[in-house]
A and B are shown apart, each in its own frame.
Chain A
Amino acid sequence: MLKVNGLSTYYGNIQALKGISMEVAEGEIITLIGANGAGKTTTLMSISGIVSSRQGEIFFLDKPIHAMSPDKIVSLGISQVPEGRRIFPYLTVAENLDMGAYLRSDTENIKKDMAYIWDLFPILSQRRHQAGGTLSGGEQQMLAISRALMARPRLLLLDEPSLGLAPLVVKQIFEIIKKINTENNTTIFLVEQNANMALKIAHRGYVMENGVITMSDSSRNLLCNEAVKKAYLGL
């Protein structure tokens, strides 16, 4: 479904991605783990076109997207939950969700999807007329995921959804991610610091170090891998 080929991204003179290649199949949950500053966020930003890459190719459903503008990429069915949630603080919860459906014009289906979200996160339904900025951290994360879902993505990019959340909430969020994957057959690309949790729900995983992919395997194998255990699982 998604194919990345020798992708290099620079910030000025700093090379953040050094020719990475990866592949995501339809219906998969894939995870990308790595230390701080490894280039995980940059990878997601390059895929969604917000940061432009200098070399390499990205194909989505066999279409080259590496030269497309972000709005085109979203319209093809890639939606991102950016790092740090980045919800709109002055818009209400419902308006935030509306922004997620910005490119869609099928009002009926948008309503249906909205109802689905209220079902998925009942707490958001109670808060629907509250400003996004007044939600708690966990609620904001739920809102960020919901907002991305409102675009009806075929591929959902999630950047550290567990960041700064209490363990119980993290568990809840991961369960929802799994649910989204199985119920809607949405492919999920999950970037995580919480490698343990991520590898438990993912089918496959990539390990990234300093802008290079160093390992790629099924998550079961990665969970048993000695190097991964030592570096990312703290065992």
Chain B
Amino acid sequence: MMTFTEIKKSFLTSLWFMFLTFPIMVIRVNTIEKQVIWRWENMWYVGIGSFLLSFVWRYFLRRKERGNNHANEHIANMSSSIQRIFSRRRYKIPAMVAAAMTVAVFPFVMNSYQTNIMITALMYVMLGLGLNIVVGLAGLLDLGYVAFYAVGAYTYGLLNHHFGIGFWTVLPLGGALGALFGVLLGFPVLRLRGDYLAIVTLGFGEIIRLILENWNEFSYGPSGIAHISKPSLFGIKLSFSGEITYMYFLMIGMVCFTIFVVNRLQNSRIGRAWIALREDEVACQAMGIDKTRTKLTAFALGATWAGMAGVIFAAKTTFINPASFTFMESAMILSIVVLGGMGSIPGVIIAALFLILLPEYLRAFSDYRMLLFGAIMVIMMVFRPQGIIATVRRNYNFKKAEN
């Protein structure tokens, strides 16, 4: 019987888990009194817990496999009907108005703590949309994206510290410098694809961080740069909460600008070339697409957004040090893109808000935050690998070529 074998498998899984966790869950050595405490009851908790989890997991997996297309179609239909509703004028306009209203009143209704969290989330929306150009549209797996973020942040930090240059001057400069570093990284990795590309970009991200950490004369090492100026508003002196509100609307503006540009890019000639390049390089070359230039453009444009986001980050926190630019950040941004659905703008936005806001509001579970995070990612990838909102392009149902 099916359920019997399922139970057996779950049972074996739980045995395996009990064995694996035995040393940490059961044995406890009291080093002061030189005693070993055997906590046998913990073993039963682990056993029963993993048995139940494994059974539920298997049950859902089997259901997914059995009704493979069925369940998938259901979800696909659901998400596409959401898209359809929003593409209809009658719903689109009220929905947009409602969203705009929420966005507009948010900083006045919520307190400054919550607005601050929202600003951070918006920053990740921007970063996610930027990385989406590289990973989602051009299909180049970049694990060192945070490097460009750092470049932007340090551009503002250093220029402000040494020369007192203002935020609005440095913002485009940070973007440009990000782009320059994007091209710099792009050149050596042009021939690489997939895993190799991922490893090299990962290394690049670490190199930038290590330079910032160790080159004391240049970047002030691990102690970082403090007292960076906040963005100015025509020289008006703002109150504390006023500053946050200003930052919030600045971020909303940047996100809108990003959405606009990414949307335009997606439907442009170069956007089409990226998608084509992702699908078939040889065919692209036969069409006369310049592989080098197209890939470099993707790297440069993606890095531009990270650079600008970096400038904003430095202005927001007024303090930067290399610890803000670890691989964890790259992984986080990549998770946003993957979870949201590669190449999908609304998907990335939802995923960024979800991944940044959820942990903040789950402070109570802060010990298990990473565990929860990991579990959500695994579950997502098993049950919905195309992301929260798949790109429309990916919604085609493939049928076998018939003759």
Residue from the list B279, B282, B285, B396 in contact with A134, Cβ < 8 A: B396
Given A86-B286, A102-B287, A136-B403, A95-B272 contact (CB < 8 Å): yes
Please determine whether B401 and A137 come into contact, CB atoms closer than 8 angstroms. Answer: yes
| In the complex, A226 has a CB within 8 A of chain B | no
Query: A-facing mask of B378-403, CB < 8 A → 1, else 0?
Result: 00000000000000011010110111
Docked CA distance A173–B398 (Å):
25
Docked CA distance A140–B403 (Å):
11
Given A134-B399, A138-B403, A151-B288 contact (CB < 8 Å): yes
Please determine whether B286 and A148 come into contact, CB atoms closer than 8 angstroms. Answer: yes
Please determine whether A136 and B402 come into contact, CB atoms closer than 8 angstroms. Answer: yes
Docked CA distance A140–B269 (Å):
23
| In the complex, B217 has a CB within 8 A of chain A | no
Which residues 47-75 of A have a CB within 8 angstroms of B? Answer: 48-50, 69-71, 73-75
Please determine whether B283 and A70 come into contact, CB atoms closer than 8 angstroms. Answer: no
Please determine whether A147 and B287 come into contact, CB atoms closer than 8 angstroms. Answer: yes
Given A50-B286, A71-B288, A90-B394 contact (CB < 8 Å): yes
Please determine whether B403 and A74 come into contact, CB atoms closer than 8 angstroms. Answer: no
Which residues 244-302 of B have a CB within 8 angstroms of A? Answer: 269, 272-273, 275-276, 279-280, 282-291
**Chain B residues, CB < 8 A from A140:** 401
A45 and chain B: residue at smallest CB distance: B282
**Chain B residues, CB < 8 A from A48:** 285-286
Main secondary structure of the interface of B (DSSP, over half): helix
**Chain A residues, CB < 8 A from B398:** 89, 131, 133-134
Given A69-B290, A74-B288, A134-B396, A88-B403 contact (CB < 8 Å): no
Residue from the list A82, A95, A98 in contact with B283, Cβ < 8 A: A82
Please determine whether B272 and A98 come into contact, CB atoms closer than 8 angstroms. Answer: yes
Count of A interface residues, CB-CB < 8 Å? 37
Please determine whether B288 and A88 come into contact, CB atoms closer than 8 angstroms. Answer: no
Query: B-facing mask of A86-107, CB < 8 A → 1, else 0?
Result: 1111110001001110110000
**Chain B residues, CB < 8 A from A131:** 396, 398
**Chain A residues, CB < 8 A from B394:** 90
**Chain A residues, CB < 8 A from B289:** 71, 99, 102
Q: How far is the CB of B297 from chain A (nearest CB, A)?
A: 14
Please determine whether A50 and B285 come into contact, CB atoms closer than 8 angstroms. Answer: yes
**Chain B residues, CB < 8 A from A147:** 287
Q: How far is the CB of A92 from chain B (nearest CB, A)?
A: 9
| In the complex, A166 has a CB within 8 A of chain B | yes
Which residues 186-242 of B have a CB within 8 angstroms of A? Answer: none
Docked CA distance A198–B19 (Å):
68
Q: How far is the CB of A98 from chain B (nearest CB, A)?
A: 7
Could you list 16 examples of A-B contacts with CB < 8 Å? A50-B285, A71-B289, A74-B287, A75-B288, A82-B282, A86-B280, A86-B283, A87-B283, A88-B279, A90-B393, A98-B272, A99-B289, A134-B401, A136-B402, A151-B288, A166-B403
Chain A residues packing against B (C-beta within 8 Å): 48-50, 69-71, 73-75, 79-82, 86-91, 95, 98-100, 102-103, 131, 133-138, 140, 147-148, 151, 166
Chain B residues packing against A (C-beta within 8 Å): 269, 272-273, 275-276, 279-280, 282-291, 393-394, 396, 398-399, 401-403
Known: A82-B286, A86-B283. 4 other contacts (CB 8 A): A88-B283, A91-B279, A95-B272, A99-B273
